[in-house]
Amino acid sequence: MDARQRAKLDEYVDPEFIDSSAGVFPLTIIMSFLVVFATIAILWWAKNRSRAARRGECLLLCGISNAGKTLLFSRLTMGVAKRTLTSMAVNRGSMTLENSSSDRPVKKVRVIDVPGNLRIRQRDFNSEKASAKAIIFVIDSTTINKDSKDVSDYLYDILREKTFRQQRLPLLIFCNKQDLNNDNETTQSIRQLLENELTMKRKTRTSSVAVHQGKAESADDIGRPGKDTFEFNDVKDLQIEFVDGSSLGAEKKSYAKHYDDIDEDDIVSTGDETDADSGANLNKVYDWIEKIWIK
């Protein structure tokens, strides 16, 4: 009797509960999963978006140690010449371009300064090269004779980089420190020197011992394949330009402002202050940057 009553009650009671809960329950689960997935997806997208925005939009400063990259970086992004030492980490900043035309008055250019130290250069360069729209390769004009091998090594890697060649990257070779000595190497002689070095580098690199378990790299040769000597004119995939100048230039005095010893003089200026016309400043670099970003 009881059992039958209970069964009857169950009959009355159960359908309501079971049906509705059966209807709601899986649906809630699905909804909650969707919400969670959506949140994660949004977070991921937001995280990657900030990185994607920089892709292919930055100005990269490269060069061997002591070339003057970090000083150039401070001039471009902060407008002052800060005293620098060897960089251990990548510097990121942005510079504003004044445009005379009316449609886009101010343009922001992201600048990335990659340390020149050989140990960290590889890792930092590889992680930043994807975001490069243009490269300034800084060379110390006073020591180029001594450092030609290292400089050409680095330059060879840049010239061979597949992604750069595909996007026809503009490359500016900036012969820095023209203000230091009087008998510096001129742009022309540096160009010649680098061409000779790169000619030899092509031969030695291809004949060197293979890397153990290295990726099979296709022989991306620089310059014209059949020709023996290398010339910058042969490089069609990248737009190469040579300029000279000085990151320090006429702003030598600015060092003293930031260190509170007012009675001590900083770097004593050796030559004339009228550096504007001698090319020992950054005007040409600014022109080149404007040319690329404001087309």
Q: Which residues would be at the binding site for other proteins (CB under 8 A)?
A: 47, 65-66, 70, 74, 78, 80, 82-91, 113, 115, 117-120, 122-123, 149-150, 153, 200-201, 203-204, 207-214, 256-261, 264-267
Which residues have C-beta within 8 Å of that of residue 259, sequence separation ≥ 6? 83, 266
CB of 61 to other proteins, least distance (A): 12
CB of 11 to other proteins, least distance (A): 52
Helix (H, G, I), strand (E, B) or coil at 140: strand
- Report the C-alpha gap between 135 and 164 in whole angstroms: 10
CB of 160 to other proteins, least distance (A): 15
Tell me whether residue 13 or residue 118 sits nearer to other proteins (CB atom). Answer: 118
- Report the C-alpha gap between 239 and 135 in whole angstroms: 10
Structure tokens at 116: 């020149």
CB of 133 to other proteins, least distance (A): 21
Q: Are 152 and 195 in contact (CB under 8 A)?
A: no
Tell me whether residue 3 or residue 219 sits nearer to other proteins (CB atom). Answer: 219
CB of 230 to other proteins, least distance (A): 14
- Report the C-alpha gap between 114 and 48 in whole angstroms: 22
Helix (H, G, I), strand (E, B) or coil at 35: helix
- Report the C-alpha gap between 251 and 255 in whole angstroms: 8
Tell me whether residue 21 or residue 122 sits nearer to other proteins (CB atom). Answer: 122
Four-residue CA torsion sign, 265, 271, 274, 279? negative
Structure tokens at 47: 């995280």
Tell me whether residue 84 or residue 99 sits nearer to other proteins (CB atom). Answer: 84
Question: Burial of 13 by CB count in 10 Å (0-12 exposed, 13-18 middle, 19+ buried)?
Answer: exposed
CB of 91 to other proteins, least distance (A): 4
Tell me whether residue 122 or residue 188 sits nearer to other proteins (CB atom). Answer: 122
Any bridge partners for residue 171, and if so which?
135, 240
Tell me whether residue 133 or residue 202 sits nearer to other proteins (CB atom). Answer: 202
- Report the C-alpha gap between 80 and 85 in whole angstroms: 16
Tell me whether residue 2 or residue 260 sits nearer to other proteins (CB atom). Answer: 260
Q: How far apart are the first and last CA of the chain?
A: 93
Tell me whether residue 101 or residue 204 sits nearer to other proteins (CB atom). Answer: 204
CB of 200 to other proteins, least distance (A): 6
CB of 136 to other proteins, least distance (A): 16
